[in-house]
Amino acid sequence: MSYHELAVERIKNIDAKQYIGVSNKRYSEFRSRGEYEVDARLIAEYYRRVGAYLQFISKEVTSIYAGMDMLIGYKMVDNEWDELLVKCPNFVEIDCMLMKLISIHYLRWCTLLDNSNNIALQFLDIYEPMIILFERGGGRISTHHHELVGGFGAFSRSIDAKRGDKKPIDISDNALKTIIEEIELAEAYLVEHKKGNLTEKYCIRCGNRLIIHYNNKFGQQWYKIKCETKDCFDNNFS
């Protein structure tokens, strides 16, 4: 199978059920805290890969809307939106413009790979974090003013080449599973703690103690759960 054929298979197997009827819901009604932590990692890793690519092609910045092929001179053709729905009928019922657009860009990138485009071949997996995001149900993303909006916190709509200097993020199944487990553990820890249970819990990553810190600002109370190891687990909970 060609890169393009494999990509079409992946996109058309994205489960539409994850996206139907969610457009008016709050993020927290259909994604768990752990899931959107994963979403944030996937998006951060996409931005990092795009940053590295921008450095390679000597561009400073791009937007979440732009296809990577467009940055090296390729253009979208008029009927691509219609064509996507023919190739991937699961997208007919999905009302997520940005997810569809990025999927179109991904398919076009795979066509470049099939044509042995030298630049594309060096950034073979650039779209992988976003496709994993869509497959896992995190594709309800949109932009508002200058921000990319989802349950995961703030990303800017533009992607800066400096992002390419960041450390790569492990997006393997196992790594993503661990992120969810860590959040679930911390959530359960906090529930018990609020009930008065003072049993300590330990970090999944390093085995060190997890400490609950209280915060209160402007009348809002929240908790920070932090691993004793520096730069390890550190998350806010309400």
Residue 200 in contact with residue 210, Cβ under 8 Å? yes
Residue whose CB is less far from Zn ion, 83 or 181: 181
Please name the residue that has the structure tokens 């991937």: 88
Residue whose CB is less far from Zn ion, 83 or 234: 234
Residue whose CB is less far from Zn ion, 18 or 229: 229
Q: In residues, how long is the chain?
A: 238
Q: Taking CB under 5 A as the rule, does residue 232 contact Zn ion? A: yes
Q: Taking CB under 5 A as the rule, does residue 162 contact Zn ion? A: no
Q: Taking CB under 5 A as the rule, does residue 229 contact Zn ion? A: yes
Please name the residue that has the structure tokens 């950034």: 123
Distances 135 to 22, 39, 60, 100, 191 between C-alpha atoms, Å: 15, 11, 30, 12, 31
Instruction: Choose the stretch contacting Zn ion; rule: CB under 5 A; options: 8-16, 26-34, 176-184, 227-235.
Output: 227-235
Amino acid at 140: R
Strand order in the sheet with 155-156: 142-144, 147-149, 155-156
Instruction: Choose the stretch contacting Zn ion; rule: CB under 5 A; options: 13-21, 26-34, 171-179, 207-215.
Output: 207-215
CB of 125 to Zn ion, least distance (A): 28
List residues near Zn ion by CB under 5 A: 203, 205-206, 208, 227, 229, 232
